[in-house]
Amino acid sequence: MRIIFSVVARQELEDAIRFYDLEFLGLGKRFKREVGKAAKRISDYPEAWSIERGSVRKCLLHKFPFKLLYSIEVDHIFIIAVAHQHRRPDYWVAEG
């Protein structure tokens, strides 16, 4: 199934890549690759991961403290956030 990243999720991904590259050259590329692998797993098996809240599911990355929060849509997977697991829980939940 096709994967679409929200504008916010794409920005979070780019910010994390920059951060990791500042920590150690090449680490940002490894992070991006790990996100790609997780997105592929989600695409192949969208219902395999646990529900975080409502219809939003989470897929934990294997080597970094991040999770992909996503929803399963009719014709695609929508990545809502690339969220650090230990910072500001539930920041991605819309108030209203």
DSSP designation for 94:
P
Using a pLDDT cut of 90, give the percent of the chain over it.
88
| Predicted local distance difference test score (pLDDT) of residue 66 | 96
Pairing of strands 76-84, 2-5: parallel
Give the angle subtended at the CA of 60 by the CAs of 5 and 40, to the nearest 5°: 50
Q: Which of the residue ranges 20-24, 29-33, 91-95 would you say has the lowest mean pLDDT?
A: 91-95
What does the pLDDT average to over 32-53?
Answer: 97
Phi, psi of 89, rounded to the nearest 5 degrees:
-60, 145
Sheet of 51-53, strand order: 2-5, 76-84, 66-72, 56-60, 51-53
The pLDDT-based confidence of 87 (bands split at 50, 70, 90) is: confident
Determine if the pTM surpasses 0.85.
yes
Average pLDDT, the chain: 93
Q: Please tell me the class of the 2-82 domain.
A: alpha beta
